[in-house]
Amino acid sequence: MSFFKTSIWMGISTAIKALLSYLLWKIIAVSTGPSGVAILEQFQNFIQISRVSVPAGINEGIIKYGSEFKDNDALKSSILSNAMYLNSFIFIIAFTTLLLFSHGISYLVFQSYDYQNMIILVGACIALFILNNFGLSMLNAEMETNKYIISTISGSLFNFILTAVLVKHYGLFGGLVGLALNQTVICILTIYLIFKAKWFNINLFLSKINMACMNKLILYSFIPLSAALIGPIASIMLTKYIINTLSWTDAGYWQAINRLSQAYLILIAMVFSFYFIPKFSSLKTKGALRAEIIKSHYYLVPLISLGILVVFVFKNQIIKIMYSTEFLSVVPLFKYQLLGDFSRLCTWILKNILVAKAMIKETIAFELFFTASHILLTLLFVHYDGLIGCAIAYAVNYFLFWIAMIIFTVNYLNKNENSYVATMDLEQIPAQ
């Protein structure tokens, strides 16, 4: 499926998920009241934290190596089998931890021991959550876009119906059970879609343990782990600085415009990673990679520019819809924020090369360096320009990040231009 069609369907899937999430929480609010919403929000946060412990990088490794070696059954078998072993080990650790410490975790999260069984249920459901994401990663690696979208949209619909029915009939208890089962039972459909695929073979999951494969997959865990830590820590630091230097109100304005950016950046990031990681991974020569990069920029840069322009033109209406007229004070920040968003999106296209080609150290180094530079630039510009300095620093930082990625990519492509770009060291894995 083309990038354009992939973007359309991923957009539809995300929109459906967002709409159903809004409707679900409205039902929860009506059925359980403010206290119920508070408890369920807290439970949802706990679920997200418990599932963060599952290294999503393993799934990124499946996408990268699965697409790179999709025509080599022996290597693909080693990748999938060892990913399955790692995920099984992760589940055992996670479930054992939640089972043994469910009593204390219940009090820590809810200030009550009444939710111990719910903590155990979350632990048990991690197995299905892992299985579903394992299956989705396989579909992504094989570029089975239709099946991937079917599974994600069906999952959103199923989760909404299940939780809504449970809340309507059993109130708070039903809401807790429904949230615990979120993105779990749908794994049955995901696995069914994999079984029906032409490339499916049970032997793909029967290879022996191979430490080379495991090490490669584990390395990928550092990418989402670093992203999960670096970004929030930087945000906390900058928010505290803005509060101390300016005011709580200015910090709120800064957070508001960041959330507006994230509203569409998250969707585009999902589309980029879904399409580019397996696509770039599957390209064997730098000549082919260069051609794909040029083609991607030819189509995407004008679309990104148009999208940024539309947001800028309708910025007042967007603020009123997303927030209120009270937040119109952020309008002067928009031009710099959107310039930063433009550079950031262009940077992401090239960053996917690092992920697709297993350049883990380079990926983390770029993130660390430009997160640090964002903090320093914000301190500098806020000191001299006040609140608007936040947006100026954001724009300057991501423009520099984009330039750095262009230089890195050009050097990478020009070095031994006709050489293979796949991670060929895995080909030393013996056939099983």
Q: Are 97 and 253 in contact (CB under 8 A)?
A: no
Residue 431 pLDDT > 50, yes or no? Answer: no
Asked whether residue 200 falls in the same domain as residue 97, the answer is yes
Query: 247 to each of 250, 252, 327, how far by Cα in Å?
Result: 5, 9, 15
Q: Does 184 lie in the same domain as 246?
A: no
Same domain? For 233 and 187 the reply is: no
Cα–Cα distance measured from residue 160 to residue 427, given in angstroms and rounded to the nearest whole number: 44
Q: Are residues 69 and 121 in the same domain?
A: yes
Q: What is the pLDDT of residue 432?
A: 46
- Region 368-374: what's the mean pLDDT? 94
pLDDT given at position 399: 97
3-state secondary structure 46-63: HHHHHHHCCCHHHHHHHH
Q: Which residues 6+ apart lie within 8 Å of 122 measured at CB?
A: 46, 47, 50, 98, 180
pLDDT at 201: 87
Q: Does the reported pTM lie above 0.75?
A: no
Q: What is the Cα gyration radius of the chain?
A: 23
CA nearest to 333, candidates 379, 409, 377, 391? 391
Residue 380 pLDDT exceeds 70? yes
DSSP class of residue 197 equals S
Residue 60 in this model has a pLDDT that exceeds 80 = no
**Do 374 and 228 lie in a common domain?**
yes
Helix, coil or strand: residue 430? coil
Angle at the Cα of 314 (from 308 to 316), degrees rounded to 5?
A: 125
- Domain match, 179 and 132 both: yes
The pLDDT of residue 423: 47
pLDDT in tens, 111-120: 788 899 999 9
Of 19-28, 180-189, 247-256, 337-346, highest mean pLDDT:
337-346
Round the average pLDDT of the chain to a whole number and report it. Answer: 85
Count how many Cα atoms sit within 13 Å of the Cα of residue 275 in the half-sphere of its side chain.
23
Side-chain-facing half-sphere of 125: CA atoms under 13 Å: 21
How distant is the alpha carbon of residue 42 from its chain centre?
Answer: 21
What are 7's two structure tokens?
């973007």
For residues 412 and 275, give the distance between their C-alpha atoms in angstroms, rounded to a whole number.
21
Task: Say if residue 354 is in the same domain as residue 231.
Answer: yes
Same domain, 206 and 302: no
User: Is residue 100, in this structure, part of any structural domain at all?
Assistant: yes
151 within 8 A of 189, measured Cβ to Cβ: yes
pLDDT for 356: 81
Which range is least confidently modeled, 131-135, 176-180, 251-255? 251-255
Q: CB-based contacts of 206: which residues, under 8 Å, 6+ apart? A: 77, 81, 432
Q: Is 183 domain-assigned? A: yes
Q: Which residue has the higher pLDDT, 45 or 416?
A: 45
Cβ partners under 8 Å of residue 234, min gap 6: 371, 374, 375
Number of domains into which the chain is organized: 2
Taking the chain, what is the end-to-end CA distance rounded to the nearest angstrom? 32
Structural domain for 346, as ranges: 221-416
User: Whole-angstrom Cα distance, residue 340 to residue 348?
Assistant: 12
More confident residue, 106 or 217: 106
pLDDT band at residue 55 under the 50/70/90 scheme? low
* 257 in the same domain as 157: no
* Rounded CA separation 72/174 (Å): 46
| Residue 191: inside a domain | yes
- The count of other CB atoms within 10 Å of the CB of residue 195 is 10
Is 423 within the bounds of a domain?
A: no
User: Which pLDDT belongs to residue 325?
Assistant: 82
User: Is there a single domain that holds both residue 197 and residue 320?
Assistant: no
> Percent of the chain scored above 70 by pLDDT?
92
Residues 278 and 383 in one domain: yes
Of 300, 396, 391, nearest in space to 352 by CA: 300
* Cα dihedral 251, 253, 256, 260 in deg (nearest 10): -130
206 and 60 together in one domain: yes
